[in-house]
Amino acid sequence: MTKQYYKNLAITFFISTIWSVYIFFDYYTDHSFMPGLTLMFDFFISAIFTIGLAVINIFLRFSYLRNLNHKDNFFYIFSGFSNITLSIIYLTYIVISNNVREFFTSFEITTLYCFSNLALGIFIISDLYKFEIAKTKL
């Protein structure tokens, strides 16, 4: 891993923290009739944005940037970690609200978003680290 990779990873965590703080204050300062609705829309917008960014990055990774070093690409790192983060947040919410059975038995659009985020995030993270893990086993 290069110095640029760790710089991009730190920027990714900083952006995630800023976004979490914004969502937190947006939820608790909203005095409308349904403040939880803004939280849900913020989550959906974040999920759709990260899924779109991940699909674009994977397409570029296997077509245009095939020969370039993709591990130093900020958007590739950002989309991988943000997809994983959003899926972990939603799965934690499901466990805390005790809706695990309903999550797996009913097919809703949120289930599709969560599984898409999880699958894309795992794919990108495994693509970033596949050679590093292979080097450590030698």
Is the pLDDT at 88 greater than 80, yes or no?
Answer: yes
Question: How far apart, in whole angstroms, are the C-alpha atoms of residue 8 and residue 75?
Answer: 9
**Structure confidence by residue, pLDDT tens digits, 24-77:** 776 666 666 766 667 777 778 888 888 888 888 888 888 876 666 666 778 888
**Residue 109 pLDDT exceeds 80:** no
Burial classification of residue 3, based on how many CB atoms lie within 10 Å of its CB (0-12 exposed, 13-18 middle, 19 or more buried):
exposed
